[in-house]
């Protein structure tokens, strides 16, 4: 496989090596912890908001749920940043695995759906509660399906990679 | 580690069911996948409920948010099952891991916290907290403890792999 030497350059770097080989509890596993906490914030709260949009608590006003969006976006940024560190630690493992690209695509679509829900459902002050539900229903179902897929793809990364490091390619 | 633990986990590790759990890497991946789905369901339901009690999105009345809790409980149930099967699959690895035991402690404390919510009658006062109203201070304490404990469960869970073999074998 023609894999860019660039991955080797990243893996040889001080940061990448430290993340993988340091005995500190603040290295690789700490990044994984942040990634899972971010997942809890983003996917957890997003799923709850999706369920509420789908009528799980039909006697609740939906507009105040707008206040949960900062929590979700915080989860997103925590995961974007921790994700970058994970890829710096294991670039070959990630970028030579097709499942990684599937994961990124599903996340992209799920986040785009979240953005659409925020703007089209919660961002339109003229909508009645019933109209919010009507507009948000399909997006909520899509959101749940996409996150289910993204989590699955993410978990599969640990079990589907072929090359762990650039060195193992040879 | 009490003296009966090592013989028990050593025996369990040799059973056909245990070997079945770790026999296929895609089955293991499925168990772990569902464990994270359960985590998302649990954290979402508990998180939204606890954050409202703590004062976020105060325009929401709290009582209807309880409809999210069955989903959180379902998530916990999924994790109890997938976690249990994982434990049966690799009993020695988990039994000799500090992070695993502290995770179980954190889950137990989260359960005690839930019991306190109901036994102190705080649940009733929280249900009566309407739109724009503040939940009682004890409710906020219980909600904050809940978030802290479940976050601790996640953190400890992720450190299980790092703390493998942290408990010396053969110790009684």
Q: What is the pLDDT of residues A120-135, one digit of tens each?
A: 999 988 999 899 999 9
pLDDT > 90: percent of chain B: 92
B104 has a pLDDT exceeding 80: yes
pLDDT > 70: percent of chain B: 98
A170 has a pLDDT exceeding 70: no
Residue B107: pLDDT band by 50, 70, 90 thresholds?
Answer: very high
Give me the pLDDT at residue A113, please.
98
- Which residues from chain B sit within 8 angstroms of residue A56, using beta carbons? 67-68, 71
- Residues in CB range of A70: below 8 A, 6 or more apart: none
CB-based contact, B6 to chain A, within 8 Å: no
B69 has a pLDDT exceeding 90: yes
CA distance B103 to B110: 10
Residue B170: pLDDT band by 50, 70, 90 thresholds?
Answer: low
Locate all alpha helices (DSSP H) within A54-128, ordered by sequence: 69-89, 91-95, 98-116
Pairwise CB contact (< 8 Å): A29 & B25:
no
Neighbours of B172 (CB within 10 A): 8
CA distance B98 to B156: 9
Give the ipTM of the model, two decimals please. Answer: 0.92
Give the count of Cβ contacts less than 8 A between chain A and B.
118
Give me the pLDDT at residue A50, please.
97
Closest CA to A44 of A83, A66, A76: A76
Contact residues, chain A to chain B, C-beta under 8 Å: 25, 29, 32-33, 36-37, 39-41, 43-49, 51-52, 56-61, 63-68, 71, 147-148, 151-152, 154-156, 158-160
Pairwise CB contact (< 8 Å): B154 & A47:
no
Give me the pLDDT at residue B3, please.
75
**Domain extents in chain B:** 5-159
Q: What is the pLDDT of residues A35-91, one digit of tens each?
A: 999 999 999 999 999 999 999 988 899 999 999 999 999 999 999 999 999 999 999
Give me the pLDDT at residue B147, please.
98
Mean pLDDT rounded to a whole number for chain A: 94
pLDDT > 70: percent of chain A: 98
CB-based contact, B155 to chain A, within 8 Å: yes
- The helix or strand, by DSSP H or E, that contains position A156, with its residue range, turns out to be helix A129-160
- Of the candidates B28, B43, B56, which has its C-beta nearest A67's C-beta? B56
Q: What is the dihedral of CA A54, B131, B66, B106, to 10 degrees?
A: 120
Residue B51: pLDDT band by 50, 70, 90 thresholds?
Answer: very high
pLDDT > 90: percent of chain A: 86
Mean pLDDT rounded to a whole number for chain B: 95
A169 has a pLDDT exceeding 80: no
Q: Is there a contact between B160 and B99 (Cβ–Cβ < 8 Å)?
A: yes
- Which residues from chain B sit within 8 angstroms of residue A129, using beta carbons? none
Q: What is the pLDDT of residues B112-133, one digit of tens each?
A: 999 999 999 999 999 999 999 9
CA distance A47 to chain B (A): 6
- Which residues from chain A sit within 8 angstroms of residue B67, using beta carbons? 56-57
Give me the pLDDT at residue B1, please.
65
- Residues in CB range of B93: below 8 A, 6 or more apart: B164
CA distance A70 to chain B (A): 11
CA distance B168 to B115: 34
- Which residues from chain B sit within 8 angstroms of residue A52, using beta carbons? 68
């Amino acid at each position: 496989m023609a894999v860019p030497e660039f991955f080797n350059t990243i893996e040889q770097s001080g940061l990448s090596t430290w993340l993988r080989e340091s005995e500190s509890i603040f290295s690789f596993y700490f990044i994984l912890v942040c990634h899972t906490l971010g997942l809890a914030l983003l996917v957890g709260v997003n799923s709850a908001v999706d369920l509420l949009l789908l009528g799980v608590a039909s006697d609740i006003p939906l507009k105040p749920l707008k206040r949960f969006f900062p929590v979700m976006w915080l989860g997103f940024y925590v995961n974007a940043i921790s994700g970058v560190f994970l890829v710096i630690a294991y670039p070959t493992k990630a970028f030579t695995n097709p499942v990684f690209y599937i994961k990124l695509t599903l996340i992209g679509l799920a986040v785009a759906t979240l953005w659409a829900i925020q703007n089209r459902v919660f961002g339109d002050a003229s909508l009645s509660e019933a109209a919010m539900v009507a507009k948000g229903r399909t997006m909520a179902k899509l959101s749940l399906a996409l996150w289910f897929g993204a989590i699955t793809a993410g978990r599969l990364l640990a079990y589907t990679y072929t090359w762990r490091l650039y060195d193992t390619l040879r | 580690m009490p003296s009966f633990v090592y013989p028990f986990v050593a025996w369990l590790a040799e059973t056909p069911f245990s070997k079945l759990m770790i026999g296929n890497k895609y089955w293991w991946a499925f168990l772990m996948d569902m464990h994270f789905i359960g985590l998302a369901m649990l954290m979402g339901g508990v998180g939204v409920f606890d954050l409202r009690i703590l004062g976020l999105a105060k325009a929401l009345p709290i009582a209807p948010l309880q409809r999210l809790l069955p989903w959180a409980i379902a998530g916990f149930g999924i994790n109890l099952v997938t976690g249990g099967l994982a434990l049966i699959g690799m009993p020695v690895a988990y039994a000799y891991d500090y992070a695993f035991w502290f995770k179980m402690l954190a889950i137990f404390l989260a359960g005690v916290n839930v019991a306190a919510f109901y036994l102190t009658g705080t649940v009733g006062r929280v249900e009566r907290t309407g739109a724009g109203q503040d939940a009682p201070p004890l409710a906020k304490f219980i909600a904050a403890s809940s978030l802290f404990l479940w976050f601790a469960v996640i953190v400890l869970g992720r450190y299980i792999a790092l703390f493998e073999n942290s408990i010396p074998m053969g110790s009684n």
